[in-house]
Amino acid sequence: MDIALIGIGKIARDAHVPAIAASPDWDLAATVSRQGRVEGVQDYPDLDTLFAQRPDIRVVSLCLPPVPRFAYAVQALSAGRHVMLEKPPGATLAEVHALEALARAHRVSLFATWHSREAAGVAAAKSWLAGRALRSLRVVWKEDVRRWHPGQDWIWEPGGMGVFDPGINALSIVTEILPVPIHVSSAVLEVPENRQTPIAATLEFFHPAGAKVSAVFDWRHEGVQSWTIEAETDAGQMRLTKGGAHLSVDGVEGMDSADPTLDGEYPRLYAKFATLIQRGGSNVDLAPLRLVADAHVLGRRVAAAPFTW
């Protein structure tokens, strides 16, 4: 199938373009971007021009930031195109509910993606936790914002999510591997004095069986980056590292991936998207975004030092 990629920024170049190029299901037929380009692929100034000149392209993948993405998604779905959404699927829950209703009305597929769920160790971790009694689960997600989002001021604006931009990746894994739903019981959000979104956050969760579940997110971490989820159960300990790419159980090594952030994740997403379209279905799981929304509602805000690039 021909597909158009909307928004050619860092994540599109690093993950989407290579995944599409390597896929037997897709051909990158067009792009729409104000700045980025993909060599050898026709670029269009906007969706109206793309749809008018290329009515044969029935699928679009949106790699824009959350706030502007909604209008593009509405336009694409209203034009009868299947739509894939980069994470998070929207700036608000209500936006994504509206997109889901629009997709149903136009009988097209909508795919709200969570790339970290496709990391190499996640499926095995989910299988291992099933049937075991959880005692505790702790997320430690610490990275350097200057390394992963250099100069991207939109992440500090309302809707940009701040440290929850990577933090929601961890929450997408947690909500995938736990056999029962959890919800936020308390949160502390550290917000730089000169910014609108948090640079760090600490969350506590309610677990139906009383397990202690917590998460620490920090965007000020230099040196070795830390993306770890540790679980203790009645039948041993499990540890996911490298963003879910590496799994160990009771200290015994399991799956590993050479590239902890991209290897296999986006190819698997695009394969799932092709299957969704072929089956005429959608996949819009909002569990990770609900947890972030609840953290903002319940979170106690404390001032952090001003942030500058």
Annotated catalytic residues are 87
Q: For residue range 25-34, list pLDDT tens digits in order.
A: 999 999 999 8
pLDDT at 116 over 90: yes
Q: At what angle do helices 93-106 and 287-298 cross, to 10 degrees?
A: 150
Give the number of other Cβ atoms within 10 Å of residue 292's Cβ: 22
Name the β-bridge partners of 183.
206
Regarding pTM above 0.85, the answer is yes
Mean pLDDT of 53-72: 96
Mean pLDDT of 226-238: 97
Strand-pair category, 59-62 with 2-6: parallel
pLDDT at 36: 84
pLDDT at 304 over 60: yes
Q: For residue range 235-288, list pLDDT tens digits in order.
A: 999 999 999 999 999 988 776 554 544 569 999 999 999 999 999 999 999 999
- Which residue do the tokens 């001021």 mark? 153
Domains and CATH numbers, the chain: 2-112 (3.40.50.720), 117-259+293-304 (3.30.360.10)
Q: At what angle do helices 122-129 and 164-177 cross, to 10 degrees?
A: 40
pLDDT at 255: 60
- Cα–Cα distance measured from residue 12 to residue 21, given in angstroms and rounded to the nearest whole number: 12
Q: Give the residue among 32, 55, 51 at the shortest CA–CA distance from 42.
A: 32
Mean pLDDT of 298-307: 98
- Cα–Cα distance measured from residue 18 to residue 228, given in angstroms and rounded to the nearest whole number: 26
**How far are the Cα atoms of 7, 152, 163, 164, 199 from residue 306, in angstroms, in the given order?**
29, 16, 15, 18, 10
